[in-house]
Amino acid sequence: MALDSAHIAGNSLGGWVALELGRLHRARTVTAVSPAGLWRRSAPVYIRVAMRQARISSRVVHRLAPNAPRTRLVKALFLVQASGHPTKVPYDVALAAVRDMAITPGFRETLRGLEQRSFRDGAAIDVPVTVAFGTRDRVLLPPLARRRDELPTQSRWVKLAGCGHIPMFDDPAAVATLLLESSEPATAAILGEATG
């Protein structure tokens, strides 16, 4: 069964995709969690370097020590950008994150594509928009990668306390609550603060 629209949510690049689907009028509500693309013209250099380094490190570890990261120190080193509390991420989740970063196909092509662009024309979105960032997001820093001027005026900005770039690692219950509240137009309209 085909759907003309749906409640759309995504994290990081998925958050950018959610915004784009809203712009294309394919969303009933949009929830962008730590969305990429909210930079001026192209991705800041530090993001480009960090993503490439994460890929290289993950591939090395996956090949040489496929059962890592087991210790708190190694988890902290590999997940410091993704999690607000990297040492607390369960081992199986950390292992899957390293493995996925190492073997995901299309990583290089996707990264190159997103580096050269930014999200534009968000004013065309006419449904409730919730943009959420963790207070410990070390990937998308506020001065460089959280531009609000391309978001529609009805956008709401929400802080996820203690969470990193992938807040599902840190507080999955808070993320689930956010998704439920932001996909209900009545509550989405009062979440957080308006960007305008």
| Other residues' Cβ atoms within 10 Å of the Cβ of residue 120 | 12
The verdict on whether 12 is a catalytic residue reads yes
The verdict on whether 137 is a catalytic residue reads yes
Exposed/middle/buried for 88, CB within 10 Å: 0-12, 13-18, 19+? middle
Annotate 146-179 with b (16+ C-beta within 10 A) or e (fewer).
bbeebbbebbbbbebeebbbbbbbbbeebbeebb
Say which of 165, 170, 171, 182 is annotated catalytic.
165
E strand intervals along the chain: 6-11, 27-33, 129-134, 155-160, 193-194
Say which of 62, 137, 171, 183 is annotated catalytic.
137
Exposed/middle/buried for 13, CB within 10 Å: 0-12, 13-18, 19+? middle
Strands 6-11 and 27-33 come out as parallel
* Helix, strand or coil, per DSSP, at residue 134: strand
Catalytically active residues, by annotation: 12, 137, 165
